[in-house]
Amino acid sequence: MAGVSRRPPSPLLTAAGALVAAGAASLAWGAGVEVRSYRLRRVEVPVLPAGQAPLKVLHLSDLHLTPGQHRKQAWVRALAALEPDLVVDTGDNLASAAAVPAVLSALEPLLARPGAFVLGSNDYFGPRPKNPAGYLRGPSKASHRPDLLPTGDLVAGLVGAGWADLTNARAELDVGGRRVTLVGVDDPHLGRDRYLDLSAPADPRADLRLGVAHAPYRRVLDAMTSDGLDLLLAGHTHGGQLCVPGFGALVTNCDLPRRYVKGLHRWERGRDAAWLHVSAGLGTSPYAPVRFACPPEATLLTLVAGT
């Protein structure tokens, strides 16, 4: 009996099938596992005056919290065991109008420590469905949207607990016996930054001069660096969120070059330079709950005396 002869699939079809299967597996990993694989990154920054003891700064960003994200809330609460000298939250805390109590509960053990914050677009406006591919065409557009979040309640909770609101504002804190000056801006991604109104030469009597923003736009980083600030902290990029192993982030969702998308770098402006730390953050929009090759993170910056 003659058998039915089958032609083997072409190598091109086999490769395409393998690529689709790998993509689907990556997406499943990114949405099911990695997006909740919270990590603590530890970084040493040689930024303090010579002879000073280390200071621990916990950098939180982009929680994008919903009330139902209990695991994330518990993970953030547990960070208090690190006993940071200072906590800095670089915004995008909310992913729901009902999330303010959850954010304040997650932060509650940390609110007992010296802290400061700025706001991001996701502290003002609720998340909306978006085409994720839109990020590849350029930074997302800020728009006037009716879905306002209870920003005032969030700010009142943080300020009421003693944290400094750096939304286009300055502050000075005693941190572990050190004099720390801080200056921050409202979200540059929304065009709300007013750094020029705050700009001033860095206080030479301070032990540490911090600049804080949600989205690390170059105009803000340049101006802060020119003013002589020591360390700049920002979030917003999500570290690229969907990264390519061996290549890294595809986008920063702002005008920051890709190589600065997360982590610690030197930011240079003419003859001036500052340390820049960009957090990849702990969350994502609920409409794009996927991370790949870029796990959610908080960072413990150990500031040590410079050489």
Smallest distance from the beta carbon of 279 to Fe ion, in angstroms? 10
Report the C-alpha gap between 181 and 218 in whole angstroms: 21
Question: Which CB atom, from 127 or from 157, has the smaller least distance to Fe ion?
Answer: 127
Question: Which CB atom, from 62 or from 186, has the smaller least distance to Fe ion?
Answer: 62
Smallest distance from the beta carbon of 125 to Fe ion, in angstroms? 12
Q: Which range in 60-68, 73-81, 161-169, 204-212 contacts Fe ion by CB under 5 A?
A: 60-68
Report the C-alpha gap between 35 and 33 in whole angstroms: 6
Which one of 48, 58, 62, 186 is in contact with Fe ion (CB under 5 A)?
A: 62
Tell me the torsion sign for CA atoms 82, 87, 90, 94. positive
Smallest distance from the beta carbon of 27 to Fe ion, in angstroms? 20
Smallest distance from the beta carbon of 214 to Fe ion, in angstroms? 8
Which one of 35, 65, 90, 92 is in contact with Fe ion (CB under 5 A)?
A: 92
Smallest distance from the beta carbon of 249 to Fe ion, in angstroms? 14
Q: Exposed, middle or buried by CB within 10 Å (0-12, 13-18, 19+), for 105?
A: middle
Question: Which CB atom, from 91 or from 114, has the smaller least distance to Fe ion?
Answer: 91
Report the C-alpha gap between 169 and 271 in whole angstroms: 26
199 residue type, one letter: S
Q: Which range in 28-36, 58-66, 194-202, 292-300 contacts Fe ion by CB under 5 A?
A: 58-66
Question: Which CB atom, from 114 or from 216, has the smaller least distance to Fe ion?
Answer: 216
Q: How many CB atoms lie within 10 A of CB 222?
A: 17
Report the C-alpha gap between 115 and 212 in whole angstroms: 12
Q: Kindly state whether residue 85 participates in binding Fe ion, applying the rule CB under 5 A.
A: no
Smallest distance from the beta carbon of 154 to Fe ion, in angstroms? 15
Question: Which CB atom, from 93 or from 181, has the smaller least distance to Fe ion?
Answer: 93
Report the C-alpha gap between 225 and 260 in whole angstroms: 15
The token pair that represents 229 in the structure block: 């600030």
Number of residue whose CB is nearest Fe ion: 92
The token pair that represents 152 in the structure block: 């005032």
CB half-sphere exposure, 172, CA atoms < 13 A:
8
Report the C-alpha gap between 65 and 231 in whole angstroms: 27
Question: Which CB atom, from 274 or from 282, has the smaller least distance to Fe ion?
Answer: 282
Q: Which range in 35-43, 90-98, 221-229, 297-305 contacts Fe ion by CB under 5 A?
A: 90-98
Say if residues 32 and 278 touch (Cβ distance below 8 Å). Answer: no
Question: Which CB atom, from 121 or from 181, has the smaller least distance to Fe ion?
Answer: 121
Contacts with Fe ion by CB under 5 A lie at: 62, 92
